[in-house]
């Protein structure tokens, strides 16, 4: 019998069925957990719908103080959450600690945000005001790479603006989300937050549900397209945070000893399973060999182990399906270029792959053109920065990108011309709760975080008064 429960209408409940959750570091059963049914998802949506008017009519201060209580509750149990996160997701404990700290900080930051009535015209004949109203019930669909932090991208702004929410975690990482449900049960009025775990079979129903006003989705571009289709009939609001194939362009004036550790970190954090990880590294020909060799040394020396083991730097791939997908990319890497570090799964239980550096590859190779979402970094040689920029921009994806140079003005000029939602200079993967987060092209629609993210959980409503 599972010790985990879903949260529906204020009650912690068993699933109509159960399902297994596997520890990716051992390949063994970690826990069994509820598998929600369609009827339970409908009950969660009905509870959220029923609770929404009363929640929206609370004062802003009351809604904010509930969010702060949630952050406090998570902080008090942060060690327990971090260990569970490592066991279900695989990331090293230090990265789990960071994810929990970020989750707490994001909830706190958002609890201080609010929307205001804006007067855009005032007399003599009319006053025109812009109001921001809650949408109703929000469906939040979460992937498996940041199971808690990505809830903190969605739940706080949804709630602070007066919406209620149904959260659907990923089927392979539902446990920390369900634990968060225990805190939510103590914190919010019944129905305001609902958490329903599934076996990858309820996302479509949530996206199509007539009583859900908006879907905030993070996941792959392929699934994002399905969400759009499901949501079309009821004209739902959508925020889609989808796949990335971020390019980093390294100009010849950098000091390789200085930048290579940062490039390596930007590519291999969370075993490369980060939407914003560096997934294509364009390096100028003058420093290409040096950068490749330094990356290979870091990759060979990286400690790949169970995230609970002290000193582990890179954990396993989160699930077997992703592990098999990345093994396919390894085969492509050998065919397309030269593998100078890693290149194979580690012979032990669990989904471990040695960090892999592939050189002498180029655009058009699968390993460069597609999002690998694993510990593989293709390094591409260029001679003209404008050509590198054109190649970086040729992707159908456009989440993030970076340019690295001692000449910050030149790098800034190139970075500002990247077709992405988030461009960096001399860093990658830097984000925070006040900075809008989202992608261009097929990396998504809309923005999360900051004021831009907050307003996506509201309906802009014009009030036009004759004077
Ligand atoms: P996924 O698309 O397979 O699954 C994401 C979620 O969608 C899961 O909860 C899943 O159960 C649900 N789902 C599955 N089918 C559905 C359907 N038909 N309708 C609605 N929901 C459905 O993604 P994943 O493999 O869990 O995550 C990896 C992907 O997520 C990568 O492409 C990565 O780049 C992307 N990602 C993007 C961001 C971002 O902010 N842009 C952040 C993290 C991850």
pLDDT in tens, the chain (467 residues): 789 999 999 999 999 999 999 999 999 999 999 999 999 999 999 999 999 999 999 999 999 999 999 999 999 999 999 999 999 999 999 999 999 999 999 999 999 999 999 999 999 999 999 999 999 999 999 999 999 999 999 999 999 999 999 999 999 999 999 999 999 999 999 999 999 999 999 999 999 999 999 999 999 999 999 999 999 999 999 999 999 999 999 999 999 999 999 999 999 999 999 999 999 999 999 999 999 999 999 999 999 999 999 999 999 999 999 999 999 999 999 999 999 999 999 999 999 999 999 999 999 999 999 999 999 999 999 999 999 999 999 999 999 999 999 999 999 999 999 999 999 999 999 999 999 999 999 999 999 999 999 999 999 999 999 99
Whether 222 and 323 map to the same domain: the answer is no
pLDDT at 388: 98
Query: Which helix or strand (DSSP H or E) is residue 379 part of?
Result: strand 376-382
- Could you report the per-residue pLDDT of 263-293, keeping only the tens digit for each? 999 999 999 999 999 999 999 999 999 999 9
- Is 438 domain-assigned? no
Backbone angles phi, psi at 272, to 5 degrees: 80, 5
CATH number, domain of 339, equals 3.40.309.10
State the distance from the centre of ligand 1 to the C-alpha of 399, rounded, in angstroms.
Answer: 15
CA 108 to chain centre: 18
Q: Per the omega criterion (within 30 degrees of 0), is the bond before 124 cis? A: yes
Number of domains, the chain: 2
C-beta 448 within 6 A of ligand 1? no
Is ligand 1 within 6 A of the CB of residue 456?
A: no
Annotated catalytic residue, options 275, 292, 371, 456: 275
Give the DSSP letter of residue 392: H
CB 101 within 8 A of CB 78: yes
State which of 223, 270, 432 you would mutate to test the pocket of ligand 1, scoring each by most atoms of that ligand within 8 A of its C-beta: 223
**3-class secondary-structure state, position 378:** strand
Q: Is the CB of 242 under 6 A from ligand 1?
A: yes
184 is a catalytic site residue: no
Give a yes or no: residue 1 inside a domain.
Answer: no
Same-domain status, 215 and 281 = no
Alpha carbons 54 and 51: distance in angstroms, whole number: 6
- What is the reported pTM? 0.97
Nearest-angstrom CA–CA distance, 174 and 7: 12
Same domain, yes or no, for 285 and 233?
Answer: no
In this structure, the answer to whether residues 195 and 263 fall within a common structural domain is no
Q: Residues 327, 329, 330, 334: what is their CA dihedral angle, to the nearest 10 degrees? A: 150
Residues 376 and 415 occupy one common structural domain: yes
70: phi > 0 → left, psi -120 to 50 → alpha, else beta; which? alpha
* Structural domain that includes position 159: 6-242+443-466
Q: Which helix (H) or strand (E) holds 331?
A: helix 320-336
Query: What pLDDT digit, counting tens, does each position of 352-408 carry?
Result: 999 999 999 999 999 999 999 999 999 999 999 999 999 999 999 999 999 999 999
Cα distance between residue 21 and residue 147, in whole Å: 14
Ligand 1 centre to CA of 142 (Å) is 6
Specify the ligand 1 atom closest to the Cα of 146. Answer: 43
Kindly tell me the burial class for residue 293, based on how many C-beta atoms sit within 10 Å of its own C-beta (0-12, 13-18, 19 or more): middle
Asked if residue 418 belongs to a domain, the reply is yes
CATH number of the domain within which 134 lies:
3.40.605.10
**Does the beta carbon of 420 lie inside 6 Å of ligand 1?**
no
Residue 182 neighbours by CB under 8 Å, 6+ apart: 5, 7, 12
> How many angstroms separate the CA atoms of 151 and 180, rounded?
10
Task: Give the residue, out of 219, 270, 449, with the most ligand 1 atoms within 8 A of its beta carbon, to mutate for a pocket test.
Answer: 219
pLDDT digits (tens, 9 = 90+) for 110-141: 999 999 999 999 999 999 999 999 999 999 99
Together in a domain, 226 and 268: no
Biggest CA pair distance of the chain: 78
Instruction: Say if residue 234 is in the same domain as residue 253.
Output: no
Q: Whose CA is nearest to atom 23 of ligand 1?
A: 219
How far, in Å, CA of 249 to CA of 401, rounded?
A: 8
- What per-residue confidence (pLDDT) applies to 1? 74
The reply to whether 100 and 235 lie within a common domain is yes
Statement to judge: residues 346 and 231 lie in one domain: no
d(CA 248, CA 253): 15
DSSP 203-250: HHHHHH-TT--EEEEES-HHHHHHHHHHHHTTT-EEEEE----EEEEE
In ligand 1, the atom with minimum distance to the C-alpha of 439 is 41
CB of residue 174 inside a 6 A radius of ligand 1: no
Could you identify the atom of ligand 1 that is nearest to the CA of residue 219? 30
The answer to whether 17 and 35 have CB atoms below 8 angstroms apart is yes
Residue 405 and residue 352 share a domain: yes
Is there a catalytic annotation at residue 186?
Answer: no
Dist CA 289 CA 285 (whole Å): 8
């Amino acid at each position: 019998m599972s010790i985990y429960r879903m949260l529906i209408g204020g009650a912690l409940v068993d699933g109509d069925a159960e399902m297994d959750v596997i520890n990716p570091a051992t390949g063994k059963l970690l826990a069994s957990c509820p598998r929600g049914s369609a009827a339970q998802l409908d009950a969660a949506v009905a509870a959220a719908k029923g609770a929404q008017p009363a929640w929206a009519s609370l004062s802003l201060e009351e809604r904010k103080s509930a969010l702060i209580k949630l952050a406090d509750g998570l902080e008090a149990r942060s060690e327990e959450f971090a260990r569970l996160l490592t066991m279900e997701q695989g990331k090293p404990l230090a990265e789990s600690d960071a994810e929990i700290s970020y989750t707490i900080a994001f909830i706190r930051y958002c609890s201080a945000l609010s929307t205001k009535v804006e007067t855009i015209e005032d007399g003599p004949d009319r006053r025109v005001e812009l109001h921001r109203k809650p949408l109703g019930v929000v469906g939040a669909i979460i992937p498996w790479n940041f199971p808690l932090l990505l809830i903190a991208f969605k739940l706080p702004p949804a709630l602070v603006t007066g919406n209620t929410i149904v959260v659907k975690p990923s089927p392979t990482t539902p446990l920390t989300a369900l634990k968060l449900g225990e805190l939510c049960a103590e914190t919010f009025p019944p129905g305001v937050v609902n958490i329903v775990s599934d076996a990858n079979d309820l996302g479509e129903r949530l996206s199509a549900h007539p009583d859900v006003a908006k879907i905030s989705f993070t996941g792959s571009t392929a699934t994002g397209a399905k969400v759009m289709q499901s949501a079309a009939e009821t004209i739902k609001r959508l925020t889609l945070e989808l796949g990335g194939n971020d390019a980093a362009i390294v100009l010849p004036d950098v000091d390789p000893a200085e930048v290579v550790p940062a490039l390596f970190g930007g590519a291999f954090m969370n075993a490369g399973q980060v939407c914003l990880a560096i997934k294509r590294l364009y390096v100028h020909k003058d420093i290409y060999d040096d950068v490749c060799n330094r990356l290979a040394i870091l990759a060979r020396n990286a400690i790949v182990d169970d995230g609970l083991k002290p000193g582990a730097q890179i954990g396993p791939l989160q699930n077997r399906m992703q592990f098999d997908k990345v093994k396919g990319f390894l085969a492509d890497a050998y065919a397309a270029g030269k593998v100078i570090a890693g290149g194979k799964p580690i012979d032990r239980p669990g989904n471990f792959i040695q960090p892999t550096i592939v050189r002498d590859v180029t655009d058009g190779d699968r390993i460069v053109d597609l999002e690998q979402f694993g510990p593989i970094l293709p390094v591409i040689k260029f001679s003209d920065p404008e050509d590198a920029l054109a190649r970086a921009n040729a992707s159908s994806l456009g989440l993030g990108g970076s340019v690295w140079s001692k000449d910050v003005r030149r790098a800034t000029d190139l970075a500002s011309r990247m077709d992405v939602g988030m461009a960096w200079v001399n860093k990658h993967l830097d984000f925070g709760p006040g900075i809008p987060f989202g992608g261009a092209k097929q990396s998504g629609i809309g923005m999360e975080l900051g004021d831009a993210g907050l307003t996506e959980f509201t309906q802009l409503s014009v009030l036009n008064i004759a004077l």
